[in-house]
């Protein structure tokens, strides 16, 4: 059951960690900023690896079927 608190109470969840903005380059392109914040960010890396392995397995299955698919049809 949810705990009720006063309206002025602090939230019970942990806030997101603040990132160091002084480490970013002001001349950074939008693409490299996207790569840094969405693709290589440590908190998003497990999900990105999962997506990458699923795409790799899908493409590998297509290549395998195009290469050896005729072996699956009875002669």
pLDDT one-digit tens code per residue, 1-28 = 566 666 666 666 666 666 555 566 788 9
Q: Is 73 left (phi over 0), alpha (psi -120 to 50) or beta?
A: beta
- The mean per-residue pLDDT over the stretch 63-70 comes to 95
Burial 19-34 (b: 16+ CB within 10 A, else e): eeeeeeeeeeeeeeee
- Residues present in the chain in total: 75
The pLDDT value given to residue 46:
93
Query: Residue 43 has what DSSP assignment?
Result: T
Average pLDDT score, the chain: 84
pLDDT of 61 over the 70 cut: yes
The pLDDT value given to residue 26:
83
CB 3 within 8 A of CB 12: yes
Q: What's the gap between Cα 19 and its chain centre? A: 18
């Amino acid at each position: 059951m949810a705990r009720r608190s006063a309206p002025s109470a602090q939230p019970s969840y942990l806030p997101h960690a603040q990132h160091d903005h002084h480490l970013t380059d002001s001349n950074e392109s939008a693409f490299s900023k996207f790569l840094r914040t969405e693709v290589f960010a440590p908190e998003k890396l497990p999900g990105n690896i999962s997506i990458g392995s699923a795409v790799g397995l899908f493409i590998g299955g297509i290549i395998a079927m195009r290469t050896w698919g005729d072996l699956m049809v009875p002669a």
